[in-house]
């Protein structure tokens, strides 16, 4: 059209199909408990990695992009400002988070900080054992060489882990949905959840978790009925 070869762009008149929004897949509390019990039998590296996926709600690449220098042990929080991705033409590479709001600080509970300290001590022993073979790039989760992990290695490990312990299918993103869902069910507002997830807009969070919010609101209604309306 710019060259004057055609009078208009026919693609501009195309009717786009409406995208069907799927309900988010999240684990129930009893499923999370089963996963945590199974993790106790796994290496500390994977225990820490899966624990962070659940507690932070971070994307897979964001967890793999975490570095020790961005962990505030005194303030009990981490700075998510890096992501590890993969593409066939580039390979494994580092990138900035998905959106400006994805660059965020996430507060962590005492239990998580304790686990990270234990894991850091284990990793230090491994680095000493491997010597010059280990190229320290400050990644919390790295290959045996110290280089960043392939994102698909997390997916592969979770698949084998679920089969090993007779658990339902597990993917990394389900932990993100689980964290958000549990916060909604416990009365946390959309703005706070959106910030923790690193969404660019609160409306994005509300749209993704509309069904979960509806379920949570029904639960709230039942609680209010129990408190105010039912006779002892």
pTM of the entire predicted model: 0.85
* pLDDT value of position 170: 95
Residue 178 contacts residue 32 (beta carbons within 8 Å): yes
Dihedral sign, CA of 199, 200, 202, 208?
Answer: negative
Measured CA to CA, the distance from residue 115 to residue 54 in angstroms comes to: 14
- Look at residue 130 and give its three-state secondary structure: helix
Q: What is the pLDDT along the chain (232 residues), one digit of tens a residue?
A: 888 888 888 888 888 887 676 778 899 999 999 999 999 999 999 999 999 999 999 999 999 999 999 999 999 999 999 999 999 999 999 998 778 889 999 999 999 999 999 999 999 999 999 999 999 999 999 999 999 999 999 999 999 999 999 999 999 999 999 999 999 999 899 999 999 999 999 999 999 999 899 888 888 788 778 888 876 6
Measured CA to CA, the distance from residue 190 to residue 205 in angstroms comes to: 7
Measured CA to CA, the distance from residue 172 to residue 57 in angstroms comes to: 9
Instruction: Please state at what angle helix 44-56 crosses helix 151-164, rounded to 10 degrees.
Output: 100
């Amino acid at each position: 059209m710019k060259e004057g070869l055609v009078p208009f762009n026919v693609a501009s008149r195309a009717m786009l199909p409406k995208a069907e929004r799927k309900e988010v897949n999240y684990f129930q509390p009893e499923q999370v408990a089963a996963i945590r019990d199974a993790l106790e039998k796994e290496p500390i590296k994977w225990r820490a990695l899966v624990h962070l996926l659940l507690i932070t709600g971070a994307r897979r690449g964001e967890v793999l992009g975490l570095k020790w220098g961005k962990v505030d042990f005194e303030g009990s929080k981490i700075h998510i400002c890096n992501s590890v991705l993969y593409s066939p033409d580039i390979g494994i590479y580092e990138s900035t988070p998905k959106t400006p709001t994805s660059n965020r600080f996430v507060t962590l509970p005492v239990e998580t900080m304790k686990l990270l300290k234990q894991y850091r001590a284990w990793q230090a022993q491994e680095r000493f054992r491997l010597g010059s073979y280990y190229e320290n790039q400050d990644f919390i989760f790295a290959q045996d060489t110290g280089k960043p992990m392939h994102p698909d290695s997390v997916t592969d490990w979770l698949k084998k882990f679920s089969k090993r312990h007779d658990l339902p299918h597990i993917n990394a993103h389900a932990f993100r949905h689980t964290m958000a869902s549990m916060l909604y069910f416990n009365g946390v507002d959309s703005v706070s959840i959106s910030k923790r997830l690193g969404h660019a807009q609160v409306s994005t969070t509300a749209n993704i978790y509309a069904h979960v919010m509806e379920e949570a609101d029904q639960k709230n209604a039942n609680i209010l009925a129990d408190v105010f309306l039912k006779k002892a």
